[in-house]
Amino acid sequence: MNQDKDFLDDGAAAPDGAGQLNAPDAAAAGGSSSETSAAENCGAAGAQTEGEISAEEARIPSPEGVLSADGSGEPMRPLEPPKRKRRWIWNLLLIAVIGLGIYSMFGISGEINDGGGLSISELFAQLNGVGAAVLIAVILSIMAVDCLKFCVVNKAVLGKVRPVVAVKTSFLGKFYDGVTPFASGGQPMQIYYMTTKGVSGAASSAVVLIRYFGSIFAFTMIGAAFMIAGMPMGVLDGVSGRTLLMVAGWIGLAVNMILPLFILFFVSFPRLARRLTGWFIFIGWKLRIVRSKERTMRRALRTVRDFIACFRIIVRRPLLLVLFLACCFAENFLTFAVPYFVMNAFSCQLDGMFFTVMALNVFATFGVSFIPTPGNSGVIEGMGVLAFSAAAGTALAWSVLFWRFSVYYIYILIGIVITVVDLFRKNIGAKKRVG
């Protein structure tokens, strides 16, 4: 990766060293120097302010120095929990959007089935016990695999698995992703939570970023594979809203591939990528789309630097890298397969439709991925009804509802339980200290 250092030679300068241990600290910490400095470099950007950044900050730093084995160390600055203004407004909006989504889901389903949908008693009367058990196993497997991703990355970055921290980090991320627009709240909360468990801000940022980039890579690769293979196989034939699903799906795939392709382009053609990025930012500035050319360029370059610095940590551990990528692909594959197992549990006629249902889910999911509502609620329910209309039959609305519960609502419920338990523990601890 000799080119990594070159992609910002035109006007880039070196980081100020924020987040790195000095020599005595490094000697005291001990351990391998190849992983931990990269964690510091990976998290440095996350700990800096939005103000002036030295030009060299964007260069890919060489991994030197160490962190302690557990990833602890002085964070670059004290981390505080992410603050959300007007929390009650967001909560009301979330409830309203979810309610609207469920209402529209049953309304669209009723129109498609001419009002012939199953009642809840009829639904459970035809419930397949074995299919329901398989569905529960799939849901639990998705949760376990995401937790395992954090365990693997913890091992690579911190030197320890720390399973309890990994499990709670996973569920907190899912919860805050689900209640914030564009899933923007999960990563800051995950980083904050890990710092409360003695992990430095740099190492926490590294863990969360590695997990994010691995997940988005697997998400887009699986989505692209099913959409490309599904079109010639006619998976959208006979589906209500075929054109909408197809157009929105391809747009969503293009949007989601921007970040992976952007980073890959920078790694493969660093100088050309920097020039083209500067040109596009200049055009955006001329069109008054971009407010500050310099700040936008810094952010773009910092994103690339963070990714490469974090990627270096785990790429030096081939076994962990393979296990991590396997977990990323397994989680996304099972998530896309959930609608099939939901319909199977409700005894829908699905002979030979596993690939078709998964491909339809891919089109529906990518088709709403750029919708800013929390969890894409209010839109994805209707899109799911259109996508699965050819497979679910009279159980259509219930299939979509249980699909959404399996991949979205359940994490909100788990997050609420975690929040209540934490508040309860804090109150008890405060009373004991007062006593």
Dihedral sign computed on CA atoms, order 166, 172, 176, 178:
positive
Ramachandran class of 88: left when φ > 0, alpha when ψ lies in -120 to 50, beta otherwise:
alpha
Q: Is the pLDDT of residue 94 over 80?
A: no
Which of 14-28, 102-116, 180-194 reaches the highest mean pLDDT? 180-194
End-to-end alpha carbon distance in the chain: 59
Distances (CA, A) of 96 to 100, 247, 385, 405, 434: 6, 27, 19, 16, 41
Q: Is the pLDDT of residue 141 over 90?
A: yes
pLDDT value at residue 102: 65
Mean pLDDT of 104-110: 57
Which residues lie below 8 Å from residue 123, measured CB to CB, with a gap of 6+? 346, 395, 398
For residues 126 and 131, what is the distance between their CA atoms, to the nearest angstrom?
A: 11
Residue 178 pLDDT level (bands cut at 50, 70, 90): confident
pLDDT value at residue 282: 85
Residue 108 pLDDT level (bands cut at 50, 70, 90): low
Residue 327 pLDDT level (bands cut at 50, 70, 90): very high
Q: Is the pLDDT of residue 232 over 70?
A: yes
Mean pLDDT of 269-284: 83
pLDDT value at residue 278: 84
Instruction: Give the torsion through C-alpha atoms of 426, 431, 433, 434, to 10 deg.
Output: 140
pLDDT value at residue 101: 61
For residues 122 and 117, what is the distance between their CA atoms, to the nearest angstrom?
A: 9
Mean pLDDT of 175-191: 84
- Domain locations along the chain: 87-434
pLDDT value at residue 85: 54
- Tens of pLDDT, residue by residue over 382-430, are 888 888 888 888 888 888 889 999 999 899 889 889 988 888 888 887 7
Mean pLDDT taken over the chain: 77
pLDDT value at residue 89: 66
Number of Cβ atoms within 10 Å of the Cβ of 159 = 18
3-state SS, residue 67:
coil
Residue 177 pLDDT level (bands cut at 50, 70, 90): confident
**What secondary structure does DSSP assign to 113-172, as a single string?**
TTT-PPPHHHHHHT--HHHHHHHHHHHHHHHHHHHHHHHHHHHHHHSS--HHHHHHHHHH
Instruction: Give the torsion through C-alpha atoms of 179, 183, 185, 187, to 10 deg.
Output: 140
The proportion of the chain whose per-residue pLDDT surpasses 70, expressed as a percent, equals: 73
Backbone angles phi, psi at 9, to 5 degrees: -60, -25
Query: What is the CA 235 to chain-centroid distance, rounded?
Result: 27
Which residues lie below 8 Å from residue 417, measured CB to CB, with a gap of 6+? none
Nearest CA to 133 among 332, 327, 339, 342?
A: 342
More confident residue, 378 or 289: 289
Per-residue b or e along 93-111, where b marks 16 or more CB atoms closer than 10 Å to that residue's CB: bbeebbebbbeebbebbee
HSE value, Cβ hemisphere, 13 Å, CA-based, for 339: 32
pLDDT value at residue 280: 83
Q: Is the pLDDT of residue 309 over 60?
A: yes
pTM of the model: 0.75
More confident residue, 255 or 71: 255
Number of Cβ atoms within 10 Å of the Cβ of 238 = 9
pLDDT value at residue 265: 82
HSE value, Cβ hemisphere, 13 Å, CA-based, for 95: 5
More confident residue, 386 or 169: 169
